[in-house]
Amino acid sequence: MDYGGGYSTTSYGAQGGAGGGGFMGGSQSGSQGAAGKGTYGKDTLRPVTIKQVLDAQQPHPDADFKIDEVEITQISFVGQIRNISTQTTNITYKLDDGTGTVEVKLWVDADEMNSMDTSEGTVSKPKLVENEWARVWGRLKAFNNRRHVGAHVIRPITDKMDITYHLLEATYVHLYFTKGFLNSIKQEGGTANGNQEVGYGGGGADTSMNGRSMPNVSQNARTVYKVLRESPQNNEGLHVQNIASRASMNVNEVLKAGDELLSHSMIFTTVDDNTWAILEF
């Protein structure tokens, strides 16, 4: 991920799929103006800590929440699952990241609840258990003066380094909006430290993310990302079945590759868990 400039948003109508927040060249004031619009047609995805979620400001009940005086729409955070409560229409997870505790509600329909014990031939979702860490993508909501996060996706974390990475990323974003970006790492042409390329999450020879190095993901994940980036699509992105057909892969391989890309916040789900679009940075 390029941390060399302003926090930007991408419209749902943009080339290549839906929108998300990211870091790219631009002035701080202009970037905050873009992020501040906060409409559903122009969303951001911001990494946060739970304390930031709890401290977020809401000028009035119908207004978007603000963190660091910047409106937020979609958020991403990590936490350890302290409790799981299954209801008729939703599952409530209580997550704790060391800075605070918040409830996360994942809404499901009755048929999905009844089919959680997957039958043969059905792809099972990753198991979420108490005391393990998970990553959440969703929206901050308030009901009866009590805050919770309505989750679009919640997945277990398999690599504990993802926890450290996320907390560092959330810290950087907070410092950017409160202190401004570091001029010392802003370079023309997207390079720094001589000829070393600034990569998303680290080095690597594959520079297929608009000139930035991809993180250390499998070849299948790279293939799925390339299909999402290069295939014609509508605002909703591409369904898993469509990706599998275009990539000549089976569905299970695509789902596994998608989990990798989601864990690195390279893609996000749109109309359902199996329809994905690229996060534009």
Residues 162, 222 within the same domain: no
Residues 170, 222 within the same domain: no
The 8-class DSSP code of residue 25 comes to S
**40: Cα separation from own chain's centroid:** 16
**Closest Cα to residue 138, out of 273, 275, 255?**
273
Q: Read off the CATH number of the domain in which 33 is found.
A: 2.40.50.140
Alpha carbon distance 91, 191 (integer Å): 45
Kindly give the pairing relationship between strand 275-278 and strand 238-239: antiparallel
Residues 99, 230 within the same domain: no
Range of the domain at 256: 217-278
> What is the model's pLDDT at position 110?
62
Residues 34, 144 within the same domain: yes
**Closest Cα to residue 92, out of 51, 35, 161, 149?**
149
Residues 24, 138 within the same domain: yes
How many domains does the chain fold into?
Answer: 2
Alpha carbon distance 98, 26 (integer Å): 33
Burial class (CB in 10 A: 0-12, 13-18, 19+), 168: exposed
> What is the model's pLDDT at position 91?
93
> What is the model's pLDDT at position 9?
39
Is 191 a domain residue? no
Q: What is the pLDDT along the chain (281 residues), one digit of tens a residue?
A: 344 444 443 333 333 333 333 433 333 333 333 333 344 455 788 999 999 999 999 888 788 899 998 899 899 999 999 999 998 889 999 999 999 999 999 988 766 555 555 444 444 567 899 999 999 999 999 888 789 999 999 999 999 899 999 999 998 888 888 877 655 444 434 443 433 333 333 333 343 555 556 778 889 999 999 998 888 877 778 889 999 989 999 999 999 998 888 888 788 888 788 888 887 64
Residues 228, 98 within the same domain: no
Instruction: Give every CB contact of residue 274 below 8 A, 6+ residues apart in sequence.
Output: 239, 240, 241, 255
Is 208 a domain residue? no
